[in-house]
Amino acid sequence: MEIKENILKHIESLKKIALALSAEKDLNEFFKLVLAEAMRFTKADAGTVYALSDDETKLDFKIVCTISKNIQLGIADVKKWPSVTLFHKDNSKNLNNFVTYVFHSGKAMNIADVYEQELFDNAGTKNYDKVNNYRSQSMLAIPLKNHEDKVLGVLQLINAMGNNKITTFNQEHVITVSSLASQAAIALTNRKLISELENLLDQFIKAIAVTIDKKSKYTGGHISRVAEITRDLAEEIQKDKGTFSEIDFSEDELKELQYASWMHDLGKITTPSHIMDKSSRLENIIDCIKFVEMRYLFIKDILLNELNYKDLESEKQEIVKLLRKLDSDWKFIKKINKEENQIKAQDISRIEDIYSFIYTISNKEYRLLNSEEKEHLQIPIGTLSPEQSEIMKEHVLVTHNILSKLNFPAKYKNVPFYAATHHENLNGSGYPFHLKAEKLPLKSRIIAISDIFESLTAQDRPYKTGKTLSITLTILANKVKNKEIDSRLMDLILDTGYYLKYAKKFLSPQQIDGININEIKKIYKTNGNNL
């Protein structure tokens, strides 16, 4: 009858553990259940679950319990329960206590009295007993092995009890606890595999992001800075007690957002470098300003030669005028070529005049500019032509297409969408999908404002210098006013002082100027903007 009862208990324990294995996400809670069942079945007074440390040099206490000392079943406090070293300073195996001996042997061990054995040094056990007024006697330890027979931890039981006295662990105990230990080993293996895969995914994503950043000689830290702003804003949202008080991102959601921020410029892997790095209007695969300079020098040289051969003063004066015009036009072209701000209408007109002007010398005609150079110099703002801008914009679609082909875990399924929508505007004027506010979730909006904030302040762009804080926040405020970015996130950046925290870390002292938050907010608050 007793044997039948024990078998039923054994089956019930395994059933309970099996159910927990599929349902329990907290590994420590699962270990608590395993240890509780092992102690219940063997009537052990004490028990411990150890797990191999990440660096594989120690066994960390995970769960401890000693009934007679009123140490309740719970997660071990690392201060009270320091890790057990597996190796000596000379890298030899530490075989000086029970649990390390079992770990290195890889075999279950059952000892009737730890004080009466000679397999390992029991000084540590005796010292523990002395300090805690305890007497360790019978011990059972089972190694927790994975499918490759590697030991990942140890389940240890101390002092089996029978008739209110310490007894030995019997063979039935060994078999049952080994069954329970195998379940714990499966859980530990699964958790380790999942953790390793998560780490691999994390490292791979960051490695790809760094590779993309390295593709450009200018934007070396853009992606990592956008990822940092994204993470910081998400953390501020978590702490917020006002507008975002109902937002509580789970750990998986935060991870999903981080992956998307690291991958937001993945598509730039296909963007031509001469477009990504275009630092002036005339720069292309070859910097065309050099061709203009060659023409300038060539025409100037011809004019100077002509000047030397002219006898009439009127003819000389005419050539001098042409030389002055040539020098003036060349100086103007160099200035416009590097102009960061929007060029004026009169500048566009002057470029047209320079292109149209023909230098006629000795019955030969020369132009300072060709038609393509004229068009590029007349780019209103920035350095990219309309055609180049379209090529640049393609990176978000490429990002979406690449990421959509990857089978992300269900908890990260939105990474492609969040990453590809950082250039969308709430009013539908963005790209690539022209989505409006109702189709743009908060996570997309966070990456969008992070990308803009970093781009405006960045000091490493080839086509512009980093803007000051006041100018940056004014531009952002106007984007809120125009219903391009989220006013709540703008408020968060201003109210928490995050703009200054970021500035102190990444901006030059010259960029950190005085900010009047009320004046900045007036730009968009008067517009009734609550997107």
- Cβ burial 248-263 (10 Å sphere, 16+ → b, else e): ebeeebbbbbbbbbbb
Residue 191: the pLDDT is 80
pLDDT digits (tens, 9 = 90+) for 395-444: 999 999 999 999 999 999 999 999 999 999 999 999 999 999 999 999 99
Closest by Cα among 64, 27, 29, 68 to 48: 64
The CATH number of 2-194 is 3.30.450.40
Highest mean pLDDT out of 2-11, 35-44, 309-318, 466-475: 466-475
Instruction: Label each residue of 188-205 as H, E or C.
Output: HHHHHHHHHHHHHHHHHH
**Is residue 111 very low, low, confident or very high in pLDDT (cuts 50, 70, 90)?**
very high
Q: What is the mean pLDDT of residues 197-226?
A: 86
Position 530 scores a pLDDT of 57
CB 520 within 8 A of CB 490: no
Q: Which residue has the tokens 């990308």?
A: 451
pLDDT (0 to 100) of residue 213:
83
Tokens of 95: 């075989």
Handedness of CA 239, 243, 249, 253 (dihedral sign): negative
**Which residues lie closer than 8 Å to 406 by C-beta, 6 or more apart?**
416
Looking at residues 441-460, what average pLDDT do you find?
95
Least confident of 72-86, 105-119, 359-373, 437-451: 72-86
Nearest one of 447, 416, 412 to 256, comparing CA atoms = 412
With bands split at pLDDT 50, 70 and 90, how would you rate the model's confidence at 22? very low
Q: Report the mean per-residue pLDDT for the chain.
A: 90
Between CA 385 and CA 382 the distance in angstroms is 9
Least confident of 1-10, 44-53, 291-300, 402-411: 1-10
Percentage of the chain lying above the pLDDT 70 cut: 92
Q: How many angstroms separate the Cα of 98 from the Cα of each of 58, 118, 161, 181, 450?
A: 14, 11, 20, 17, 54
Mean pLDDT of 95-113: 92
Q: Cα–Cα distance between 439 and 428 in angstroms, integer?
A: 10
Q: Is the pLDDT of residue 6 over 70?
A: no
State both tokens at 204.
Answer: 């791979």
The Cα 242–Cα 450 span in angstroms is 21
Q: What angle do CA 55, 59, 61 make, to 5 degrees?
A: 125
pLDDT digit string, tens, across residues 118-160: 888 888 788 888 988 999 999 999 999 988 899 999 999 999 9
Mean pLDDT calculated for residue range 93-120: 91
* Domain extents in the chain: 2-194, 216-275+387-525, 289-382
Closest CA to 158 of 71, 65, 33, 52: 65
Instruction: Extract the runs of DSSP E, i.e. beta strands, from 257-397.
Output: 359-361, 364-366
**pLDDT higher at 499 or 210:** 499
Report the CATH architecture of 216-275+387-525. Answer: Orthogonal Bundle (1.10)
pLDDT at 23: 47
Per residue in 301-356, pLDDT (tens digit) is: 999 999 988 888 888 999 999 999 999 999 999 999 999 889 999 999 999 999 99
The reply to whether 2-194 and 216-275+387-525 are identical in fold is no
Answer whether residue 9 shows pLDDT above 80.
Answer: no
Spatial separation of the C-alpha atoms in residues 490 and 476, rounded to whole Å: 8
pTM over 0.75: yes
pLDDT at 11 over 60: no
Point out which residues pair with 167 in neighbouring strands.
160
pLDDT reported for residue 294: 97
Q: Looking at per-residue confidence, does 258 or 120 come out higher?
A: 258
CA distance 53 to 152: 9
Whether pLDDT at 502 is above 80: yes
- How much of the chain exceeds pLDDT 90, in percent? 67
**Residue 438 confidence (pLDDT):** 97
For residue range 342-365, list pLDDT tens digits in order: 999 999 999 999 999 999 988 899
pLDDT score, position 447: 98
- Judged against a pLDDT cut of 80, whether residue 49 lies above it is answered with yes
